Amino acid sequence: MLDKPREKFTEPSLSPPLPSSPSKIVSTAADVQSVLLTVPEGAIKKGQVEELYMAVCRDDKDRPRLSENQTILSPVILVGPPSVQLLKPVILSFQHCANMRQGGWVLSIFKSESPIDEPPYWRRVVVLGHETINSPIYTQLDPNQCHVMTEFLNRYTLIGESVTGGRALKIYRLAAFAPAMPPSMDYSIRVYVVEDTMDALDGVIQVEKKLGGRLLDKPKQIPFQDGGNNLCLTIEELSQGWRSKLAANYQEIPFRHIWSGNQNNLHCSFSLELLDRSVSKIACKIQVYQKAILSNRQTLLINCNLKDNAPSNAVSSNGNNTLVKQRASTVNSAASPTSSGFHSMVALDPSAQVFRLPSYIKAQLCMLLDPPNVRGNDWRMLAQALTVDRYINFFATKSSPTEHILDLWEARHREDSAVTDLMNILRVMGRMDAAAVLEKDNGGISLPDLGIRINRVREGTKKTGKNQFQTLAASEEDYPNSSDNQIDRLRLCLENETCKQRNMSSTTKSAPPQVKVVL
């Protein structure tokens, strides 16, 4: 039988005020829900202090009511307050569960401007691929992430439907839970079917924490295709001492219940009866598949000791940190569920230096890349190289296209190699002047730089007959911002060149000069 969600959560907490100093860089994020709000420098008027908040809305009433063809693909996210006047877009980044490899989606951003204490009235803001210069937002859709650039703080979510005649594919996550305490007679296994986002899984975990549940198997992905086919669940290979209380070990969840996404924490239950009180373990398989689509299937393997009061997969306060691969974030969540309809997510940390590029470096890059040139290797080529040129007119209408492209780059690229990768992109574009700006600020050395330097010294050695590699040194002091890996690779290259020069020198019976490598 289908069960209704057991719990509701809520209430956003106000974040500390943004710093009035433009030199302070602020970005907010929640580790658990993988939602990031990036507030770039210049978004808040200099000398002005604003309080911002961000929350995930988990109450069913906060979700948009959709047509039978539409489906929700992301959390419902609230950012505010709406009264804040932004001078440039902030970037709201969140996960989505649309399978983009197969394609076949018509995707839209929905927005609600309703007050926080009123039921939201939703409207479509933009259809991706149909933007105009009057579109109020820009949406960058990556394989698993959606980034919305907006100057308006409201509720947002991503909605999708199949193209005409198509059958889009959406990814869900299955999670099976049961009571952590040993049962007296009956035992209920709850199988949740939720969108494949960290927030959706976290919502289930919070529910099960209150119910005292334990996770029976690692949550697993399952594809689900548009087209009307139900989701089927069967319980098989039940261990001795147990029997299913269902007439058939089989259930179906109607397609519309899943695809519509109107219900948070959707799940069904398998009720089992304990026949032998001496039994202390339970084992079974739960096969989950979409009817008539054999490729869309998954298996949950259940094997647990009922007398284990602290199983390794019991739901803990940070349980989902061990269940889902974490994404990069900048600020720890300071949230706790309450009873009013939202899940508080973020605490701003004005002291956190989270941007890769200082403002003065960004300003230099804008001066170099904003002016269009005949070769076209300006901000337009940068947008293309960073794959944010889907609707390039959004950036063209800004006073500094490069500035907005780099703001989005900051939100999308939190990896350690981000600046080095950007530097190499600028080189490939033929913009050595812009790459030099980054290199000077980074203080490190990239492999392309290393190759160029070594080749130059090698040529000089050949021409003069003297080993010029003694002029190179690799130390943490020389390159304070280089990673340990970069330093190690530089040292290895220098040591190899030293060996080569020693071999060359030995043929002339002369003592080779020593290369000083300080690490």
Per-residue pLDDT of the chain (519 residues; tens, 9 = 90+): 444 333 333 333 333 333 332 223 334 333 335 799 999 989 998 888 888 889 999 888 999 999 989 999 999 999 999 999 999 999 999 999 999 998 899 999 999 999 988 889 999 999 999 999 999 999 999 999 999 999 999 999 999 999 999 999 999 999 999 988 766 778 899 999 999 999 999 999 999 999 989 999 999 999 999 999 999 999 999 998 888 888 788 999 999 999 988 888 899 999 988 888 888 888 999 999 999 898 899 999 999 887 776 444 555 434 333 343 333 333 323 333 333 455 544 444 544 557 889 999 999 999 999 999 999 999 999 999 999 999 999 999 999 999 999 999 999 998 888 999 999 999 999 999 999 999 887 654 444 455 555 566 666 666 666 555 555 544 444 444 445 555 555 555 565 655 555 555 554 444 333 333 332
* Cα–Cα dist 175/266, whole Å: 11
Q: Are residues 110 and 41 in the same domain?
A: yes
Tell me the one-letter amino acid at 144: N
- At 6 the pLDDT is 34
- At 466 the pLDDT is 58
* Cα–Cα dist 405/368, whole Å: 14
* Structural domain includes residue 379: yes
Q: Last residue of some domain: 442, 468, 484?
A: 442
* Structural domain includes residue 351: no
- The sign of the CA dihedral 146, 148, 153, 157 is negative
* Structural domain includes residue 220: yes
Tell me the one-letter amino acid at 236: E
DSSP letter for each residue of 140-205: EE-SSEEEEEES--SEEEEEEEEPTT---EEEEEEEEEEESSPPSSEEEEEEEEEESSHHHHHHHH
Q: Last residue of some domain: 393, 417, 442?
A: 442
Q: By C-alpha distance, which of 383, 426, 376 is closest to 403?
A: 383
366-382 core/surface letters (b: 16 or more CB in 10 A; e: else): bebbeeeeeeebbbbbb
**CATH number of the domain bearing residue 340:** 2.60.220.30
8 Å CB contact between 33 and 198: yes
Task: Give how many domains the chain has, as a whole number.
Answer: 4
Q: Are residues 50 and 183 in the same domain?
A: no
Q: How many CA atoms lie within 13 A of 471 on its CB side?
A: 10
Tell me the one-letter amino acid at 504: M
* Structural domain includes residue 338: yes
3-state secondary structure of 50: coil
Instruction: Provide long-range contacts, Cβ within 8 A and 24+ apart, for 398-402.
Output: 400/366, 400/370, 401/370, 402/365, 402/366, 402/369, 402/370
8 Å CB contact between 315 and 214: yes
* Structural domain includes residue 239: yes
* Structural domain includes residue 36: yes
**CATH number of the domain bearing residue 413:** 1.10.533.10
Paired residues of 297 in beta bridges: 289
Q: Are residues 66 and 114 in the same domain?
A: yes
Q: Are residues 496 and 436 in the same domain?
A: no
8 Å CB contact between 385 and 429: yes
Tell me the one-letter amino acid at 431: R
Q: Are residues 291 and 421 in the same domain?
A: no
Element (H, E) at 210: helix 198-211
Q: Which residues contact 9 (CB under 8 A, 6 or more apart)?
A: 58, 59, 203, 206, 337, 338, 339, 341, 342, 343
- At 488 the pLDDT is 55
Q: Are residues 98 and 135 in the same domain?
A: yes
- At 259 the pLDDT is 94
Tell me the one-letter amino acid at 5: P
Residue 226 CB neighbour total at 10 angstroms:
20
| Domain membership of residue 75 as a residue range | 9-166+327-344
* Structural domain includes residue 412: yes
What is the crossing angle of helices 401-412 and 359-369, to 10°? 130
Q: How many CA atoms lie within 13 A of 3 on its CB side?
A: 15
10 Å CB burial of residue 132 (0-12, 13-18, 19+) is exposed
Considering just the CA atoms, what is the radius of gyration of the chain in Å? 28
Q: Last residue of some domain: 393, 411, 442?
A: 442
Q: Are residues 311 and 227 in the same domain?
A: yes
Q: Are residues 264 and 372 in the same domain?
A: no
* Cα–Cα dist 245/188, whole Å: 10
Length of the chain: 519
Q: By C-alpha distance, which of 9, 19, 106, 97 is closest to 59?
A: 9
Element (H, E) at 408: helix 401-412
Q: What are phi and psi of 307, to 5 degrees?
A: -90, -5
* Structural domain includes residue 354: no
- The sign of the CA dihedral 372, 373, 377, 381 is positive
Q: How do beta strands 76-80 and 155-162 pair?
A: antiparallel
State both tokens at 139.
């949406």
Q: Are residues 426 and 503 in the same domain?
A: no
Residue 436 CB neighbour total at 10 angstroms:
15
* Cα–Cα dist 419/409, whole Å: 10
Measured at the CA of 342, the angle between CA 340 and CA 179, to 5 degrees, comes to: 85
Q: Are residues 162 and 287 in the same domain?
A: no
- Edge-first strand listing for the sheet containing 35-39: 26-30, 35-39, 90-95, 145-150, 138-141
* Cα–Cα dist 501/497, whole Å: 6
Q: Are residues 132 and 20 in the same domain?
A: yes
Q: Are residues 212 and 335 in the same domain?
A: no
